[in-house]
């Protein structure tokens, strides 16, 4: 039965692979380097908008990260309205509050400033403005039929790559689910990578979000839907992360490390938006839905377990990544092992545990079911888990 199911999904993955060559993936017009976020404000003015909704979270307003952009917009004659109701793993309710605010203030465009949570919330607010249907009806592939309100993005974490991806993740607490809305239209028109906004990111969030970016690069590289373009971006991102994440973690004020991590996150986003992710995300989305484990932290913990399992079918690909970051080994298996060991060592250096503290034995079967469905129906992974292998793997992450 499992083999039959696998065959059907393999065929579906083949269709998805073909589609990666046909679909017109777009990237935002990009501003980088010192002052990039203010340059983006000028571009918004040039696009002719009078009133812009800034979608962000309250922490960033408190930290003073939003004010310089508001000042710049105001100097350019643009009214900015701040909606700071986004919380980590944004919910349908928070997004609907943003839609109401956009309409009440007669906004014409959206500027997302924040981590993946703010950018994803902004994406769906922009989609809802043009599509009068419940967010749950946008879940899945290509259901944002009627376009988007103009959308601009400034990431303040170096992790999700949401500023370039065709995805937005929305929490649906009622269904204990993190649902993905996937549509080419979700890519913002313009984005700014401004490392200076990230120098105050606390070390644990730096580590978790950086490991999310690494997971995107690695899962994209070992995906069966990878191609030359995604490979190049995934390798670049992996190299940048190995080189700069430890510095960004230990010396958060280091601007060069922050800028390079912002670039790494973007490149990993380009890779995975086309090639897809895999089991690490399938499991971590459900750990997020069940226990609100931060997305990057969950990925960091799950990644080495999945790589150990996947290795027999992708040792050569993991060996490529190992060579790219300067690791040694006399054959592909040794190199793959060295790569996985290095990820474990990075996690240990960042104080990331090897287990999910909140994971409960009684939930494993449901988490496995949802993760297995997500993986089989969405991701072209190198090696599929059987249901019992999946339960066994998740159980290894139970706290002692």
Closer to Fe ion by CB, 212 or 337: give it: 212
114 in contact with ligand NAD (CB under 6 A): yes
Q: Which residue is nearest to Fe ion (CB)?
A: 212
The one among 9, 72, 89, 364 contacting ligand NAD by CB under 6 A = 89
Would you give the DSSP letter of residue 225?
A: T
The one among 112, 151, 153, 197 contacting ligand NAD by CB under 6 A = 197
Q: Which of residues 343-362 bind ligand NAD (CB under 6 A)?
A: none
Give the other-Cβ count within 10 Å of 334's Cβ. Answer: 15
The CA-based dihedral angle spanning residues 67, 73, 77, 83, taken in that order and rounded to the nearest 10 degrees: -70
Least separation in angstroms between CB 85 and ligand NAD: 12
212 in contact with Fe ion (CB under 5 A): yes
Closer to ligand NAD by CB, 155 or 319: give it: 155
165 in contact with ligand NAD (CB under 6 A): yes
Can you read off the two tokens belonging to residue 324? Answer: 């790219």
Q: Cα 170–172–176 angle (5° rounding)?
A: 125
Report the distance separating Cα 241 and Cα 244, nearest Å: 5
Q: Tell how strand 109-114 and strand 51-55 pair up.
A: parallel
The enclosing H or E element of 250 equals helix 228-250
Phi/psi region, residue 214 (left: phi>0; alpha: psi -120 to 50; beta: rest), is alpha
Least separation in angstroms between CB 223 and ligand NAD: 15
The one among 66, 107, 110, 168 contacting ligand NAD by CB under 6 A = 168
Quick one: which segment of 58-66, 99-107, 141-149, 356-364 binds ligand NAD (CB under 6 A)? 58-66
Would you give the DSSP letter of residue 224?
A: T
CB-based contacts of 148: which residues, under 8 Å, 6+ apart? Answer: 123, 126, 127, 129, 130, 185, 186
The residues of the shown chain that bind ligand NAD, judged by CB under 6 A, are: 57, 59-60, 63, 88-89, 114-118, 120, 156-157, 159-162, 165, 167-169, 178, 197-198, 200-201, 205, 209, 212, 295-296
The residues of the shown chain that bind Fe ion, judged by CB under 5 A, are: 212
């Amino acid at each position: 039965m499992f083999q039959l199911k696998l065959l059907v999904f393999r065929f579906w993955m083949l269709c998805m692979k073909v589609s990666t060559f046909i679909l017109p993936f777009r990237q935002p017009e990009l501003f980088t380097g010192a002052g990039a976020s203010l340059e983006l404000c000028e571009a918004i003015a040039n696009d002719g908008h009078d009133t812009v909704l800034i979608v962000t979270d309250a922490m960033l307003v408190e930290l003073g990260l939003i004010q310089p952009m508001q000042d710049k917009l105001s100097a350019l004659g643009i009214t900015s309205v701040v909606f700071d109701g986004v919380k980590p793993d944004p919910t349908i309710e928070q997004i609907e509050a943003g839609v109401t605010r956009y309409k009440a203030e007669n906004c014409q465009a959206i500027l997302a400033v924040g981590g993946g949570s703010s950018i994803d919330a902004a994406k769906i607010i922009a989609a809802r403005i043009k599509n009068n249907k419940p967010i749950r009806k946008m879940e899945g592939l290509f259901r944002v039929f009627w376009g988007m309100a103009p959308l601009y993005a400034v990431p303040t974490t170096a992790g999700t790559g949401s500023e370039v991806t065709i995805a937005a993740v929305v929490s649906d607490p009622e269904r204990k689910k993190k649902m993905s809305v996937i549509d080419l239209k979700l890519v913002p028109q313009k984005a700014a990578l401004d490392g200076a906004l990230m120098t105050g990111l606390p070390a644990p969030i730096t580590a978790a979000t950086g490991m999310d970016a690494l997971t995107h690069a690695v899962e994209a590289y070992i995906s069966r839907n990878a191609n030359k373009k995604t490979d190049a971006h995934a390798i670049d991102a992996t190299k940048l992360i190995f080189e700069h994440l430890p510095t960004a973690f230990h010396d958060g004020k280091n601007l060069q490390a922050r800028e390079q991590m912002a670039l790494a996150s973007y490149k990993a986003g380009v890779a995975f938006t086309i090639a897809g992710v895999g089991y690490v995300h399938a499991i971590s989305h459900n750990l997020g839905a069940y226990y609100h484990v931060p997305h990057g932290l969950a990925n960091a913990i799950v990644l080495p377990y999945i790589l150990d399992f996947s290795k027999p079918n992708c040792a050569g690909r993991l060996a490529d990544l190992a060579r790219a970051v300067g690791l040694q080994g006399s054959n592909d298996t040794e190199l793959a092992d060295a790569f996985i060991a290095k990820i474990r060592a990075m996690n240990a250096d960042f104080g990331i545990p090897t287990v999910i503290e909140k994971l409960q034995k009684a939930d494993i079967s449901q988490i496995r079911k949802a993760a297995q469905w997500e993986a089989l129906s969405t991701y072209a992974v190198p090696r599929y888990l059987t249901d019992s292998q999946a339960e066994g793997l998740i159980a290894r992450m139970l706290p002692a």
